[in-house]
């Protein structure tokens, strides 16, 4: 493959920037982007993503369960930093 050195450098740069959560955990600061999706298509998109992830996990080992959490965890504001 052409320019893999440049690609690897860019990938490493993505993980160089990090943030520290309020609980002390350090995570990479990167974003894959967001986009608008019609309400009537959200359920199908989430279902397809869960099925795809389940299939991948099953190939790697035993898949115990899959769950879709309908709303943020109650402690999400305690874990994520407040952006100003």
Q: What is the pLDDT of residues 16-62, one digit of tens each?
A: 788 888 889 888 877 666 778 887 888 888 888 888 888 888 888 88
Q: What's the pLDDT score for residue 56?
A: 85
Backbone angles phi, psi at 26, to 5 degrees: -100, 130
Q: Helical H runs in 17-83?
A: 39-60, 76-79
The token pair that represents 1 in the structure block: 């493959």
Q: What's the pLDDT score for residue 33?
A: 67
Predicted TM-score (pTM) above 0.85? no
The string of DSSP codes covering 62-74 is --------SS--T
Q: What's the pLDDT score for residue 17?
A: 81
């Amino acid at each position: 493959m052409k320019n893999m050195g440049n690609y690897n450098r860019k990938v490493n740069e993505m993980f160089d920037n990090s943030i520290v959560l309020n609980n002390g955990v350090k995570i990479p600061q990167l974003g894959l982007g967001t986009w608008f999706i019609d309400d009537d298509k959200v359920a199908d998109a989430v279902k397809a993503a869960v099925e795809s992830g389940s299939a991948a996990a099953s190939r790697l080992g035993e898949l115990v369960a899959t769950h879709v959490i309908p709303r943020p965890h109650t402690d999400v504001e305690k874990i994520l930093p407040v952006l100003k």
